Structure 1
């Protein structure tokens, strides 16, 4: 069962046009591994903070490119 934070993170990604591919590449992981985490199949320690930080960085990069 996915945790509530994953739904919020996916919503934030969608609203800011950040893809799963971009997130996986940014973290140096496979798309499959990211998907397993977001679907609640894997729960590594500290993953919420790591993924939220990565999405924030990707959003900031997108904002800087359009500025």
Structure 2
């Protein structure tokens, strides 16, 4: 079963219009790996912090482009 943080992250991704491919590119990881982590198949120790930081960076980058 996926960790609670993954559901929260997917919700934030959806609200911001961020795809798994975009998150994977920001992290420098394979999109399949991202999917496996978000679906609870892998539970890397630092994934929560890394994934949230990457999502924040994508969102901030988009906001800067709008300004």
The TM tier, using the shorter chain, reads over 0.9
Deviation at 1:46, TM superposition (A): 1.1
Mark the runs of 5 or more structure 2 residues left unpaired by the alignment.
none
Mark the runs of 5 or more structure 1 residues left unpaired by the alignment.
none
What's the TM-score, normalizing by structure 2? 0.96
2:20 aligned residue: 20
Deviation at 1:8, TM superposition (A): 0.5
2:8 aligned residue: 8
Provide the aligned length of Structure 1 versus Structure 2: 67
Q: Name the CA distance, whole Å, in 2 between partners of 1:7 and 1:45.
A: 17
Q: Structure 1 stretches (4+) deviating beyond 3 angstroms?
A: none
1:51 aligned residue: 51
Q: Name the CA distance, whole Å, in 1 between partners of 2:39 and 2:55.
A: 17
The alignment yields a C-alpha RMSD, in angstroms, of 0.6
